[in-house]
Amino acid sequence: MNILWLLGVVIEWIVLVYFYIAALYLLFFSIIGLGRKTPTPSPFDFYRKILILIPAFKEDEVILDVVKDALKQDYPTDGYRIVVIADSLAEETVQSLLSLPIDVIDVKFSSSTKSKALNAACAQVEADYDIVVVLDADNLMEHDFLKKINLGFANGFKVIQGHRIAKNSDTSFALLDGISEEINNHIFRQGHRAAGLSSALIGSAMGFEFGLFKRLMKNINAIGGFDKELELSIAKEKIKIDYLSDAYVFDEKVQNAYKFTNQRRRWLSAQFFYFGRDFIPSLRLLFTEKNLEYFNKAFQFVLPPRILLLGVVILINIWVQFTQIGNPVAWLLLLIINVLIFLFSVPSKFYTFKTLKAIIDLPIGFFWMTISLIKSRRANREFIHTAHGKHI
């Protein structure tokens, strides 16, 4: 009996230590992110030539409106070019795109991935550009997004992440997805830049020095999470990624449990894969080359999803408080820390009755996140597409 009790105590403290490391990491960046103000941009020097790449896999419903909107940017018309990588689009959609002042690259893959589409575009683009901007097929840029990216590069950065926010909040899942993205923006972008570290990439609304992007993408062949592989490659070279909190791109959020599960399944799979591949090498480079950026990126893959962390901590607190089995003080403090992370990271605009209603649906989100975790093992072996609708 004493052996079983001792084993239970050891397991509890292992779990507590893991959860505390994750929670304190998130709390630190959520607090420090409160102090970062939008950097003052450098004075305008010149309009850089910008290439906008939009991979579109079966996105017939949204791609035309997205391209038409992108053509209205407050930027010289000869200063940017839009290229749509048409993967499995209907013929009439392709013809409609060709009628617009853009380029269309029609691709056919036996197995489609975003990295393949972007590499196909890089291989075919012959003109010389200064910047490449990557968008998703449902993304809408704020009218001055390219101007702000241009000024960001005037500050000397080679990679810039824009501020991607929700363009729809029509369901509880869409609202929670939008809040989740803003928490990520605050912790992994705003907070990290406040600490002098690189912003995290997010898969779209990203700007790269053209030559750097082409060079790095040649070695990117990810099935899922191409942005994570790209981010790790950048970190290995100690290149700083900036974050422009006032350069907005509007992104469609998932509207139901099925899409939520599929999307999280893809993200979790990438997290497991890159942790297994990069954590030990990043630890070695931390000591041999003092590469904190690479180690920090790899360490993030150790962190449990926040909604899972919060859900598990709440359930364990209920169990411990009622049964008095375990360490109630440690678990209660951990719950308080997790609540503070959310309070510091969620923008004030979300403190509404609509959000309160969505929070009531959090147990459903916790359930589906658990399902995603169970299903995520095989997700990195196949491309998982999240379909989009119109929210313009």
pLDDT value, residue 392: 47
- Which pLDDT belongs to residue 89? 92
How much is the pLDDT for 231? 95
Instruction: Return the residue matching tokens 């896999």.
Output: 57
Q: Give this prediction's pTM.
A: 0.87
End-to-end CA distance of the chain: 63
Taking CB atoms within 8 Å and a gap of at least 24, the contacts of 365-369 are: 365/173, 365/176, 365/260, 365/307, 366/307, 366/308, 366/310, 366/311, 368/257, 368/260, 368/261, 368/264, 369/264, 369/305, 369/307, 369/308, 369/311
Q: What is the pLDDT of residue 38?
A: 72
pLDDT of residue 1: 56
172-223 pLDDT, tens digit per residue, is 778 888 888 999 999 999 999 999 999 999 999 999 999 999 999 999 887 7
Asked if residues 53 and 24 have their Cβ atoms less than 8 Å apart, the reply is no
Residues of the chain with pLDDT under 50: 384-385, 392
3-state DSSP assignment of residue 392? coil
Domains of the chain: 15-35+263-381 (no CATH), 50-255 (3.90.550.10)
pLDDT at 113: 87
> Strand 206-209 to strand 50-57: parallel, antiparallel, or no bridges (unpaired)?
unpaired
Structure tokens at 42: 């450098």
Contact 261, 371 (CB under 8 A): yes
pLDDT in the model for residue 384: 47
Please give the pLDDT value at position 317. Answer: 93
Please give the pLDDT value at position 388.
53
Beta bridge partners of 54: 84
